[in-house]
Amino acid sequence: MESPEELASGLDRAGYLPDGGIATAAFLAVAMGRPLFLEGEPGTGKTSLALALAKSMDVPLIRLQCHEGIDATQALYDWDYPRQLMHLRVLETRGEVDEASLYTRRFLLARPLLQALESAPCVLLVDEIDRADDEFEAFLLEVLSENAVSIPEFGEIRASTPPLTVLTSNRTREVHDALKRRCLYHWLEHPSLEREVAILRRTLPGLDERLAQQVAEAVRKMRGLDLMKPPGVAESLDWARALQALGRTEPDASTLGAVLKYREDADRVIGSTIVG
């Protein structure tokens, strides 16, 4: 890849329409071999960017969904204890107990981070890092900065080529600066009107152009309404899909449930003149 534009057209072919900022950020992440840290409102396309990157570069995507209490045995590696025990029994009957043979690669279960190191080149998506806790950040940091893990009983496993790592955060919690410092930081905004229309038409091929325009315009106005949960691109896609499924020719109030998830928000939108 020579330029952000080239990367953008690759993403475009993979079904993701990036703006200049997103393309530049992703290009730089590839060029510098640095993880890309994506923040933004829910539904601005953070996760789907990682999916599209993997698709456009034709490499596997390895996804790690974070949650509170996630630890090394869920994210990195774990030993296959039942198999180790069975093997131990076999060794015993032969009378040749050798501890080292219990800690070989075949008893090691690769979790997403280790999988990513072993199957590089690939895209590693660490999704919703803000849901994990600080203990997790600490060892993620180690893996990301070294592109390797060292397993006390086994040794070091190093990636032949570092995976392209994408981290996403919804900002429910401030992620530690030590982690951010090793990444490129990009804040995703809601797309412009033209881009949103293009995204709708791109993702839903049968969608009428006028309807796409109307949906995008209505969603854009909703975002200006100071709602409890302003709709993202994911919601406008859902809405367009719902209207399409019902064979509607323009947005109407009966389908608002696809875009707005709070009663107060729906009341507010119905009270305005956005939908008929």
Footprint on this chain of other proteins (rule: CB under 8 A): 4, 20-21, 24-25, 27-28, 31-32, 34, 39, 67-69, 71, 73, 78-79, 81, 84-85, 88-89, 91-92, 97, 99, 102, 133, 135, 170-174, 177, 180-182, 184-187, 226, 228-229
Q: CB-wise, 133 or 208, nearer to other proteins? A: 133
The CB-of-274 to other proteins minimum distance in angstroms stands at 19
Q: CB-wise, 69 or 155, nearer to other proteins? A: 69
Q: CB-wise, 79 or 213, nearer to other proteins? A: 79
Strand 184-188 vs strand 36-40: parallel, antiparallel, or unpaired? Answer: parallel
Q: CB-wise, 152 or 276, nearer to other proteins? A: 152
The CB-of-191 to other proteins minimum distance in angstroms stands at 13
The CB-of-207 to other proteins minimum distance in angstroms stands at 29
The CB-of-169 to other proteins minimum distance in angstroms stands at 11
The CB-of-6 to other proteins minimum distance in angstroms stands at 13
Q: CB-wise, 12 or 133, nearer to other proteins? A: 133
